[in-house]
Amino acid sequence: MSAQELLAILPLLIISAGIVILLLQVSFWRGHRGALATTILTLLLAIISCFWVTGNLLGDVSSIQVTALLLVDHTSLFFCLLLFLTAVAISIMGFNYLRLRCDPRGVSASYPEEFYILLLLAMLGASTLIFANHFATFFLGLELISLALYPMLGFAVTGEISPKSEQLQSLESAIKYLILSALSTALGLFGIALIYSASGSLDFNAIASRMTELSQSSTLFATGITLLLISVAFKLSLVPFHIWTPDVYQGAPTPTTALIATVGKGAVIGFLLRFFNTLDLFGSEVLIDMLAIAAIASMLVGNLLALMQANIKRLLAYSSISHIGYLIVAFLIGKSTFGTEAVIYYLVAYIVTTLGGFAVVGLVADANEENMLSGKHPQEFLIDAKNPYHREFYRGLLWRSPWLASCFAAMLLSLAGIPLTIGFIGKFYVFTAGVEGQMWILLGGVVVGSALGLFYYLRLLLIMVQRNETAETNSNGTLVIATSGQFLIATLTGALLLFGIFPQILINWINAL
């Protein structure tokens, strides 16, 4: 392993070092703010190192192979950068979530610091997955994300101060994810074994060199790829492997939900892009048809089921199912620079808006929780209007907290794909990709899905602008959100509008990397 190779995986090394430092730091000196600072510092260093590595990749060296396991190139570095930025946002959300629910002095054995260690572990897994060029690293990365996610999903259980119902739901979501994720991993592993037996190799490049004979003759290979795709589809929660999504999203602590919805999916998309491009699987009609069916099903089922949801986290869960469906449409147009660009742009749009949506929901719930803990109002989860995750809680929010509601409205409009937001440009990319690939049925699915989607986004939006019928404006009056949270939401909304109005900036970045 040469020095150049070591430098190429600098982001991975920095994250690993950060994990070790954080472990040591926590064992000597517990402190919530300290853990947060180390995490953010690590992530920022990793982000800077991404830029640095990109700088080294200029010229004729477009990618660096690091042993047989990892491959660092422009696209994967962009994905890393995106996910690290996401992780910074999630750690801020996590800080606000844990600040209320964990005892700061650690008397009742509820420590918040582990959250950050697990977060960094998940990030290590995600970046490994993105750089993976070998099934060993693929599996390592995927499992690292999952293993870090199980305790994070159940994190509310450790916070003694969290309400009982929250703890139970969190536990439920962790166990559901554990069981189903283990099942999907088993299928994926079996798929890898079949691919290995057919091709005799675990290295993507080596498999790619034998693709012509494999794709024509070997049913073993086809079965293996299919099983692998099922495992990936589970992580992406594509229909029909979406069953876990709403329950897990609803029960988990909101920062974890945001993590699973953004990093968990972004990393898998990054892997999928590389895998399909290296093996040139876009030529395989059966695979493309399977993905197309899954995409249409995701768009329709996701949107249809979201119509029924009154819980905002469940609603966002179903909406994320349908958004991955749209993304797959862009993915399907195949091995072209435009296809990759469309996928990346849509993914950025998806991550920014989903993160923003969950940030608002989480911070609103935190603000409500803070009011409750300080004894301002009693805990009444039975009444819809008092449950911070219920639609009714948001009634008239625009008049109570205008800026917060405006930001949330921007997120919703972006999810619905309305101009001035990044979501619209993302949808435009999907449409352009669809027209270029002449996939009319898929485009029809996008149109129907979007029309259905409008209904529930608008319903939520209109609830926010409704004049309150009841006179009790004071009872859940202005929501005061922590300053770091305000900053986070403002940044996300700013990015959403900036890239929505001047998309060329982001397009240039995508193409430069």
Partner 1 sequence: MTLLAIIIILFAGGLLAWLAERYFQAGGRWISLISLLFTTVLLTNYSSFITSTEAITDNTWWDSLKIPWIPRFGIDFYLAIDGLSFLMLSLTIAMGIFGLIMTWNDIQFRRGFFYFNYLWTLAGVAGVFTAIDLFLFFFFWEVMLIPMLFLIAVWGYERRIYAAIKFFIFTQASSLLMLIAIVGLAYIHYINSGQLTFNYNILLEAQVPSDIAYWLMLGFFIAFIVKLPALPFHTWLPDAHTQAPTAGSILLAAILLKTGAYGLLRFNLPLFPESSILFAPVAMTIGALSVIYGAMLAFAQNDMKRLVAYSSVSHMGFVLLGLYALDTIAIQGAVMQMIAHGLSTAALFALVGALQHRLHTRDMQQLGGVWSKLPKLSAVALFFAVASLGLPGLGNFVAEFTVLVGSFRSNHWLTALAAIGLIGAALYALIMMQRVFFGKLNKRLEKPIQESNTADLNVRETGALLVVAALLVLIGLHPQPIFNISDKTVQMSVNKIESALSFQKFPPKISPLQVHSSRVEPTSIEDNTP
DSSP lists the bridge partners of residue 311 as: 390
Residue 64 is classified by DSSP as: E
Beta carbons of 313 and 257 less than 8 angstroms apart: yes
Beta carbons of 76 and 14 less than 8 angstroms apart: no
Output the six-digit token pair for 301: 């089922």
Strand, helix or coil at 73?
strand
What's the min distance (Å) between Cβ of 299 and partner 1? 13
What's the min distance (Å) between Cβ of 336 and partner 1? 14
Nearer to partner 1 (CB atom), residue 155 or residue 499 = 499
What's the min distance (Å) between Cβ of 428 and partner 1? 7
Beta carbons of 188 and 232 less than 8 angstroms apart: yes
399: Cα separation from own chain's centroid:
31
Nearer to partner 1 (CB atom), residue 282 or residue 431 = 431
What's the min distance (Å) between Cβ of 246 and partner 1? 23
Residue 482 is classified by DSSP as: P
Nearer to partner 1 (CB atom), residue 103 or residue 436 = 436
How far apart are the C-alpha atoms of 85 and 351, rounded to whole Å?
10
DSSP lists the bridge partners of residue 70 as: 66, 132
Cβ-in-10-Å burial (0-12, 13-18, 19+) of 512 comes to exposed
- Size of the chain in residues: 513
Nearer to partner 1 (CB atom), residue 72 or residue 407 = 407
How far apart are the C-alpha atoms of 41 and 38, rounded to whole Å?
5
Q: Which residues bind partner 1 (CB under 8 A)?
A: 398-399, 413, 418-420, 424, 428, 431-432, 434-436, 443, 446-447, 450-451, 454-455, 458-459, 462, 465-467, 502-504, 507
What's the min distance (Å) between Cβ of 321 and partner 1? 20
What's the min distance (Å) between Cβ of 445 and partner 1? 12
Nearer to partner 1 (CB atom), residue 264 or residue 453 = 453
Nearer to partner 1 (CB atom), residue 182 or residue 451 = 451
What's the min distance (Å) between Cβ of 54 and partner 1? 20
What's the min distance (Å) between Cβ of 245 and partner 1? 25
What's the min distance (Å) between Cβ of 237 and partner 1? 24
Nearer to partner 1 (CB atom), residue 212 or residue 508 = 508
DSSP 172-213: HHHHHHHHHHHHHHHHHHHHHHHHHHHHS--BHHHHHHTHHH
How far apart are the C-alpha atoms of 204 and 190, rounded to whole Å?
17
How far apart are the C-alpha atoms of 192 and 134, rounded to whole Å?
11
Nearer to partner 1 (CB atom), residue 45 or residue 463 = 463
Beta carbons of 321 and 238 less than 8 angstroms apart: yes
Beta carbons of 133 and 71 less than 8 angstroms apart: yes
Nearer to partner 1 (CB atom), residue 30 or residue 459 = 459
Nearer to partner 1 (CB atom), residue 101 or residue 323 = 323
* Nearest CA-CA partner of 331 in 318, 313, 316, 350: 350
How far apart are the C-alpha atoms of 48 and 489, rounded to whole Å?
23
DSSP lists the bridge partners of residue 134 as: 203
Pairing of strands 63-66, 70-73: antiparallel
What's the min distance (Å) between Cβ of 392 and partner 1? 14
How far apart are the C-alpha atoms of 22 and 39, rounded to whole Å?
8
Nearer to partner 1 (CB atom), residue 224 or residue 445 = 445
Nearer to partner 1 (CB atom), residue 193 or residue 418 = 418
Q: Which residue has the tokens 């091995």?
A: 335
Beta carbons of 13 and 40 less than 8 angstroms apart: no
Output the six-digit token pair for 461: 């939006």
Output the six-digit token pair for 96: 């606000």
What's the min distance (Å) between Cβ of 420 and partner 1? 7
Residue 262 is classified by DSSP as: H
What's the min distance (Å) between Cβ of 281 and partner 1? 25
